[in-house]
Amino acid sequence: MSGQDIEIESEDGNFSGYLSVPASGSGPGVLVLQEIFGVNPAMRSIADWLAGAGFTALCPDLFWRIEPGIQLSSEDDAGLKRAFELFGLFNHDTGIRDITSSLAKLRTLDACTGKAGAIGYCLGGLLAYRTACHTDSDASVGYYGVSIADRIGEAAGLSRPLMLHIAGDDEFVPPEAQARMHAGLGSTPLVTLYDYPGQHHAFARPDGDHYDATSASLANQRTLEFLHRHLG
């Protein structure tokens, strides 16, 4: 596999994305939707992991309209402070436009075999849900997405498969919000919900304080099987 930054074209301007291609040279496409820390080494490593599993992965810079090229650390106070500022400034509707442009770009690449989906974490987990509701993503996966319970009505737009990983002790998604997610999405045939009791937000981020290898491995296994099934 190999990784490089590429340019993504949109009606509002061009922005960058990190592209990682499998050793075979091609595979189904997957967008990697960032946490609040930008296209940092953690997001790039996820793209590389997907490429190692046979996917052509593209992680677009969704903060480019605020400040291009953000790469923050989740492990220092200054990085956390700036990340939450960016989260507050982020426009979710233009974000979906940029995701739509990124999906279109991914599908045009010679390294993409045709079908393309999305996977996202934290803010990106919410965006993965919204991507499933508002774009032609062939399959979408969200890890500990925030504020999904406030947007259950958007699920009316679902037409392709969606998988959500829910951290049971997520400090940003309280139990009542998780209950609303299950009530609003649990009976939808296109949606698969997995709960991880006792796990905190970002349990699948290897460099994070709440990383849990067992739960992360299980979630990642489920994700790869889901993506191979629907994109392969």
Catalytic positions, written as ranges:
170, 201
End-to-end CA gap in the chain? 18
Other C-beta atoms closer than 10 Å to the C-beta of 195 total 14
Quick one: DSSP state of residue 72? -
Residue pair 114/138 in contact (Cβ under 8 Å)? The answer is no
Amino acid identity for residue 119 in this structure: I
